[in-house]
Structure 1
Amino acid sequence: MVTILGTHTVIPKEETPKGLLWLSDNDQLWRWSHTPSIYVYNPKQNNNTVVDVNVLVERMRDSLSEILVHYYPLAGRLSWTDGGRLELDCNAKGVLLLEAESKKSMAEYGDFTPNEPSIKELIPAVDYSRQINELPLFLAQVTKFHGGDGGFAVGILFSHPLGDGLAAIRFINSWAKLTRGAKLDPSELPFLDRTVLKPTGPLTQPRFDHPEFKPLPLILGRTDNIEEQKKKTTFALLKLTPEHVQKLKKNANANVTANGNGNAPHNPSPRPYSRFEIISAHIWRCACKARNLEENQPTVVKFNVDIRNRLNPPLPQNYFGNALGPTVTPTCYAKEITTQPISYASQKIREAVNKVSNHEFVKSQMHYVAGFENRWDLIRTPYLEKGEYRADVPFFGNPNIILGSWMSMPFYEADFGLGKPFYFGPGGVCPYDRGVIALMPDEDGDNGYGVVVYMHFQVDHMKDFIKYFWEDI
C-alpha cells in the first residue's frame, strides 16, 4: 500500500510566455492521455549516501520549477478546438509532483514489471473524467520503499501530444541534471517552435500511398477486431545478452561478408541488417508462431521512426514535440514469416524503415495527415476507457503487431544525484500486442549493451511466445 504524503503544484520559477501554442499535425496523431513509465533507484547499490526522501523531493521540486522555465509548454493545459484539433494554452498552471511512501520493501515489488498490480500505486493517478483543460501534462511521484535500503521509485506520466519518447526522456534527464546540481549546456535546451513541421504552401495530393494510416489486416473470417480487443494482455521482460544479439545477427546476415559483398537471402543490399531490424523480425516470427495463425493469414508490423534527421533540412536534435513517422511493413502471409529464414522478415522491416528515410515520403505523409483536418478521429490513436471497445478505431494487435524502438533513448542517464536507475520500464500493460526494444547496460559490465524487449502480448499466447523467443535464437 502506498500513502501520498504531499502533492505539490510546481510552476515555472520565472515568468514565461503566455498564450496558445500551435501543435503540429504530428502531435495530433497520438492519444491525448499520458504515457506511464517508472524509474527505480537503489542509492546503496551506487555507493551513494542514503538521503531523506523529503530532502530529495525538495531538491526535485526546486529543479523542476527551474527546468519548466525552458520547458514552459509542459506547465500549460490542452484543450479542444471545434474541429477536434488539440491546442496548447501556455498558462503556467503547473505540473504535479507527489511525495509518497510504500509499506512494501523494494524487494517485495519483484522485477517491477507492470503485471504486478501494486506497480500501479507507484504511478501518479489521473482522473480522465475531468475536462482535458484541467489535467496537468506532466506528473511525477517519488515513492520511498519501506525499510532502510534507501530505495525509491519515480513514477512518470507524460502527455503524449506534448512530445514523443525522446522528447520526454530529454526533459527528464535535464531535470535530473539540475537536481544533482549541474548546469545545462546550451545544446540541451529545447527547441520549441513546432511550426517547422507545418506544411508550407497549398496542400497537394500525396505522392505516395500511405497504408500506415489505413486499417490493418483482420483475422481471417472476421469483419472487425472487437473480439481481439476484448482479450486480456500480459507483460514479459525479455533480456537479450550481447551474445544473444550477436547470434541473431549472424543468422540474419549469414551470407554478408565483412567487405559488404555477398548475397544474403532476401537482402538486395550488402549492408548487414541492424539490431532493430533483426530483433523486430524475431519478434514477428515468434508472434506468428505463438498465435498459431493460418498459413494464408495476412500480417504486418507497424512502428514509428524518428524523423528528426530524415527531413530536409533536418529538425534540431533538441526539438521538443512529436517527430515520429509511422510506417508499416508490406503485407505478408504468416507462413512466409514463420518458414522463411529470419532474413526474410528482416528485409520486410527494412523496407518499412527505408520508406520513412525518404524526405519526399515524409513530406507526402505530412500532407496526407493534414488532409484529415476536422476529421482527426479517423487516424488519431484514441483514449478508450477500460471495457470500451470500438471497431472504428485503430487496433494493432492480432494478427499484427506494433513495435517501438527506445534504442536511442538514454533513460539510464536520469541521475537525480543518488546514482543512475537500476531499472526503467513501462508503467502499465498495453491493451494490445506490442513490443518495445531498448538498450540496457550489460549486467556484467564488460560486454557493452544488451537488449531488453518489453513485451505486451495476449495472455493466451504469451507462454508460447516466450518459448519460441528463446528456442529460435
Structure 2
Amino acid sequence: MSTTIKASYTVIPAEASPNTPLWLSPSDQVARWSHTSTIYVYKETPNHHAIDTMRDSLSKILVHYYPLAGRLSWIEGHRLQLNCNGKGVVLIEAESTKTLSSYGDFAPSDTVKMDLTPTVDYTQPIEDLPLLLVQLTRFKGTKQGLVIGMAFNHVLGDGLAAIRFINSWAKLCKGDVALDHSEMFPFLDRTVLNSSTRPCFDHPELKPLPLLLGSTNTVAEQKHEKTAVVLKLTNEQVQKLKQKANNGLEESSARPYSTYEVVSAHVWKCATKARGLDDVQPTVVRVSADIRSRLNPPLPRNYFGNALAVALTPTCFARDVLLNPLRYGARKIREAVELLKDDYVRSQLDFIRCQERLDSIRASYLDRGEAKNAPFYGNPNLTIVSWMSMPVYEADFGWGKPVRFGPGAVYPDGKAYIIRSSDGDGSLDVSVHLQMRHMELFMKFFYQDI
C-alpha cells in the first residue's frame, strides 16, 4: 500500500450539542447505511499546519452540524435511529509515496479508494461506526498537490446536504465567513417530511425492476466484476448530442430536451448496445431528483437530510432504445422526471413509511459495490444521477478550489453520475459503473455514437 497514515483524530463539537435521537424521514430510512466515498483533488499544497486548521474549524462547524458527530442504531430490527451523542467524526492525515499524476483521471477504482479515501471498518457494530470520515493525503515531493477523501454516511443526507456541509466547513477553515452567517446553519428538523396518509400511486420504482430474459433472480448478474470510468464530454460534444435529440423540435411547441435528459439517453443507448441485450429485453432507467423545490410548500434550501425521490422511465424494449432516434430515450427520461411532483413524492414517502420491513427497498450495498440484501438496479437497467447543479468546486479550504471531484469507489453495475467539469466551459465528466465485460464496448460506443 502506497499510503501511510501519519495521524488520526476524533473531532467532537467545540461546544455542547443536543444529546437526543433525531427522527429520520422515510427518504433517510431507505438510504444505504454505508458511506458514500468522494474525492476532491487539489493542485496546490498547503503548509503542514493545515491539518490543525482543519481540525479546529471542523470542531466549530460540528456545533451546528452536530448530527454528523452522532451514531446510528437499529430499532424495530430494520429501521434506523440517529443518536446525536457527540461521539465525533474522524479526520486522518496521510502521505503517499506516489505522485498526483500517477492516478490519471482519478476514475473510481479499488486503488483510489484504498489510497485516497478513509477506510470504514464495517465489522464494528453500527453503533460504533463514525458517520463522517475525512482523509487528507499529501503526495511525494514538496508541491505535488493533495486529495481530500470523504466517507459520508448516506443516512445523514443526500449529495447536496453533504456538499453544503463541506462548503460551509471549507469557508470557515479559510476564514471567509463568520459563524453567524446564515449559510453556516443547516435546517435539521426532518419531521417536515412526516405524514400519516396512505400512498396514492403504485410506485414501481420501489419494486423489483425487469430481469434479464430467462432469469428468475439477479444473483448471476451481481457476481460479475465491476469497473468504472470517467468519460469527458466537451461542450461541443454535449451540444452535438442535444442538437441530435432536439432535431425537428424547433418547429413544434415542445420544450427542448435538457442536458441531463440527452446525456442520460445517450448513456442508456450505449449501455444497451454494449450489454448485447435481446431485442425484446425490457429495460428501464431510474432517475433521482432533489425534492427541496418540488414540494409544496418547498423545503428550506438548507434542509440537511435526504431530500431525494426516485422514479422510473416507462418500461422499454431494448430494440426501441437502440433503433429509435436519441430523442426517444430523452423523452422517456423526461417522463420519469416529470412524475416527481408534490403528490407523487409525498405518496412515495408514504409508501416507504407503510412498509412492514424496509430490507427489500433499502439500498444497503457496501463500498466495494457488493450487494448486501439489497435490490439490484443493474443489467439490463440503469440508475443515472445528475450532480450538475451541485456547487462541488466551491470547497476551498484555503489552498484553492478543487480541480477534480467525483466518486471515490466503484459502485454497483448500472450506476452513472453526470458531473460538471471544473473547467467551467460547459464540459462534463460522466462517471460510469458497469460490469467489466461490458465496459470496453460501452466506451467505444460512447464516443462513436456522438
TM-score by length of 2: 0.96
1:366 positional shift:
1.5
The letter for the 2-side match of 1:353 is V
Partners of 1:385 and 1:169 in 2: CA distance: 19
Match of 2:449 in 1: 472
**Conserved? CA contact 2:174–2:398, under 8 Å:** yes
Q: Is the 8 A contact 1:240 1:452 kept in 2?
A: yes
Q: Does 1:423 align with 2:404?
A: yes
Gaps of 5+ in 2: none
Unaligned runs of 5+ in 1: 44-49, 264-268
**Structure 2 counterpart of 1:51:** 46
User: 1:386 Cα shift?
Assistant: 6.2
Distance 2:351 2:415 in 1: 25
The Cα of 1:40 is off from its aligned counterpart by: 1.1
Aligned to 2:212: 219
Over 3 Å counting, the alpha-carbon distance change for 1:118 and 1:375 in structure 2 is: closer
How many corresponding residue pairs? 447
What residue number does 1:462 align with?
439
- Structure 2 counterpart of 1:152: 146
Structure-2 residue corresponding to 1:231: 224
> Which residue is equivalent to 1:376?
358
- Give 1:382 shift: 2.0
Encode CA deviations 1:185-244: one digit per residue, 9 max, x unaligned.
Answer: 314421000000001xx432x221210001000010010111100011111111111111
Q: Which of residues 178, 182, 192 is equivalent to 1:196?
A: 192
Q: 2:265 aligns with which of 281, 303, 321?
A: 281
Q: Give the match's secondary structure for 1:162.
A: coil
What does residue range 65-464 of structure 1 map to in structure 2 within 5 Å? 65-115=59-109, 117-183=111-177, 185-199=181-195, 202-204=196-198, 206-257=199-250, 262-263=251-252, 270-356=254-340, 358-372=341-355, 374-384=356-366, 393-442=374-423, 448-464=425-441
**SS of alignment partner, residue 24 of structure 2:** coil
Change (3 A) 1:235 1:6: same
Structure 1 vs Structure 2 CA RMSD: 1.6
Secondary structure of 2:49's counterpart equals helix
Contact kept? 1:120, 1:427, Cα under 8 Å = no
Question: TM-score of the superposition, structure 1-length normalised?
Answer: 0.92
Structure 1 CA distance, aligned partners of 2:170 and 2:146?
15
State the AA in 2 paired with 1:9.
T
Determine if contact 1:295/1:335 at 8 Å carries over to the other structure. yes
On the 8 A contact 2:367/2:411 being kept in 1, the answer is no
1:382–1:389 distance in 2 versus 1, CA, 3 Å: closer
Partner Cα separation in structure 1 for residue 9 and residue 188 of structure 2: 26
Partner Cα separation in structure 2 for residue 242 and residue 59 of structure 1: 38
CA contact (8 A) 2:368 2:409 kept: no
User: Which whole-Å CA distance do the structure 1 matches of 2:413 and 2:186 have between them?
Assistant: 33
